[in-house]
Amino acid sequence: MHDPEGVRLQKVLATAGLGSRRACEDLITAGRVTVDGVPVLELGVRVDPAKVAIHVDGMRVQLDTSMVTIALNKPLGVVSTMHDPDGRPSLAEFVKNREERLFHVGRLDAETEGLILLTNDGELANRLAHPSHEVPKTYFAEVEGRVHPSLGKQLQKGIELEDGLVTVDSFRIVDQTAQASLVELVLHEGRNRVVRRIFDEVGFPVTRLVRTQIGPIKLGDLRPGRTRVLGKTELGTLMALVGM
């Protein structure tokens, strides 16, 4: 991995915001840094930041400062596209002041609110969208009717839809009234309107749907229509999740 024409590893780490150069030297000698999957223990190693993958404690270090990933709380009625020929509100309106050419990762239908990611990192976007990585997504759904606790086991066992079986990773009832239920579910499916179709199939139509988490990235207290740039730890964890 040593590149005689490269940059000292501790300098690369410090430039990426991992701490002072001395602190980064300590990370290396403690065996917490890998380059292309190989642990580095020596301080003399030089690397080309454009050609290697560096991880600290298993978390990918983003070395390309031109790359950015943004979390958006998509409001109700906004379509998941960067331009809509019919003139409907689109994602572009919320990042129009950004210089980067951003594109969205996955979709939320216009009636669904919550977390959607936008990025100019094509590799990250492709991996997040690819079914093989099974990135979990968390939703809060308000549904008609009083849901029985046994529904969770039914959904985890699998529900047959017109395009195949879909399973839910986890399910819990958050709150209920006589007429409605608020539930939380986690699944790694990316099929179109899959959450709504699941509940239609079991007889509890969705009246409101909010995505609150994608992998380790949480919506938190981000208000509808607002964005935030993912921090180094969040982004590194997300990249590690999809094998980057």
The residues carrying an active-site annotation are 109
- H/E run at residue 55: strand 54-56
In degrees and rounded to multiples of 5, residue 176 shows phi and psi of -150, 150
Q: Evaluate whether 130 touches 142 at the Cβ level (below 8 Å).
A: no
The CA distance from 123 to 44, in Å, is: 30
**42 burial type by CB count under 10 A (0-12 exposed, 13-18 middle, 19+ buried):** exposed
H helix intervals, the chain: 9-15, 21-29, 122-129, 151-157, 194-201, 232-241
Structure tokens at 181: 């239920």
Q: Which amino acid, residue 137? A: K
Comparing CA positions, the residue from 34, 27, 55 lying closest to residue 233 is 55
